[in-house]
Amino acid sequence: MENIFCPVFHLIDYMHFKKSFFLDTPLGVQVGLILFVTKDDNMNKIRPWLYIGKYIETTDLLLLEAHQIGAMLQLAELVEQPGIVSMYLAVEDGVSLPEPMLKTGIDFVLTKKEQGLKVLIACGAGISRSATFAIAVLKKIELLSLSDAYREIKFHHPVTMPHPALWKSLCEYYREEIPYSILLAMK
């Protein structure tokens, strides 16, 4: 069997070398792949105790340990890691959040903060669902308006953009009427 080494796949979602492996192709050629990663991970610290990230980061125990994450609110899929408390909520992007689900997520994060744990809130891409819960948590704990909480999250996690349905859920939950267009105008 012939071995061929392929170009490197470069993923910006991690902060360290991940792994190398060979794949057998239908033509009987074995293809070598190496996955490299950069230090430009997208898990962002919002507060010393609060982080926002993506699903893929919940799978990386070394990354979680490097940030001393002790709890995860997972919104894409449950990933269990040794020594890390996890809660999974099946939140769909683009769908309104039921108030009990929003409250459950907020309460989990605040309880883990009170226990002295660093918390990662993670969804699929780290853009909408995780940001929605982080906004809700900051609003509650720091008594901010939703727009100020959004601005604060966006400052530390620039890709933040809750889906309009999730933003509407937050506005209804906190009884604030802030048009989605306001978010689009904020930098």
Q: In tens digits, what is the pLDDT along the chain, a chain of 187 residues?
A: 444 444 433 333 333 334 344 445 555 555 554 433 334 456 999 999 999 999 999 999 999 999 999 999 999 999 999 999 999 999 998 899 999 999 999 999 999 999 999 999 999 999 999 999 999 999 999 999 999 999 999 999 999 999 999 999 999 999 999 888 887 887 6
Let me know whether 26 and 94 are in one domain. Answer: no
Cα 135 versus chain centre, distance: 13
Nearest to 166 by CA among 136, 140, 122: 136
Let me know whether 69 and 142 are in one domain. Answer: yes
Let me know whether 59 and 129 are in one domain. Answer: yes
For residue 153, the domain's CATH number is 3.90.190.10
Let me know whether 31 and 54 are in one domain. Answer: no
What domain range includes position 24?
A: 3-37
Let me know whether 91 and 115 are in one domain. Answer: yes
Question: What is the C-alpha to C-alpha distance for residues 119 and 45, in angstroms, rounded to an integer?
Answer: 10
Strands 50-54 and 44-47, bridge-based pairing: antiparallel
Let me know whether 32 and 50 are in one domain. Answer: no
Let me know whether 30 and 89 are in one domain. Answer: no
Let me know whether 133 and 155 are in one domain. Answer: yes
Q: How many structural domains comprise the chain?
A: 2
Let me know whether 96 and 121 are in one domain. Answer: yes
Let me know whether 26 and 80 are in one domain. Answer: no
Global pTM?
Answer: 0.78
Q: Judging by beta carbons within 10 Å of its beta carbon (0-12, 13-18, 19+), is residue 82 exposed, middle or buried?
A: exposed
Question: What is the C-alpha to C-alpha distance for residues 17 and 25, in angstroms, rounded to an integer?
Answer: 24
Residues, the chain: 187
